[in-house]
């Protein structure tokens, strides 16, 4: 948790560091409550833990794609001289 402020500042800059950090932490809170709820819903519907892990794998791939898009966008902005 201690690395998130530095991580968000290095990606988005210091101009809105507190706001960016708050958004990241809100995402962590949502995931902390959402993951057990999704797991309970799937297992209550008769699904197995394999299904839960498959869904989590798909969500992790979606997150990786979002990070790749973010990296390309940031690199493009830096090459154009924008901050």
The predicted model gives 11-30 an average pLDDT of 83
Q: For residue 11, give the nearest of 63, 66, 71, 62 by alpha carbon.
A: 71
- DSSP 8-state symbol, 15: T
Binned at pLDDT 50, 70 and 90, residue 2 comes out as low
Task: Report which of residues 52 and 24 the model is more confident about.
Answer: 52
Per-residue pLDDT tens over the stretch 37-83: 999 999 999 999 999 999 999 999 998 999 899 888 888 877 887 65
The rounded distance, in Å, linking the Cα atoms of 71 and 80 is 14
Task: Report which of residues 6 and 82 the model is more confident about.
Answer: 6
């Amino acid at each position: 948790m201690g690395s998130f402020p530095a991580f968000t500042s290095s990606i988005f800059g210091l101009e809105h560091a507190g706001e960016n950090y708050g958004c990241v932490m809100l995402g962590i809170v949502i995931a902390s409550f959402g993951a057990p709820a999704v797991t309970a819903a799937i297992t209550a519907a008769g699904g197995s833990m394999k299904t839960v892990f498959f869904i989590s794998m798909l969500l992790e791939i979606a997150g990786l794609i979002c990070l790749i898009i973010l990296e390309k966008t940031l690199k493009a902005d830096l090459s154009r001289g924008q901050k």
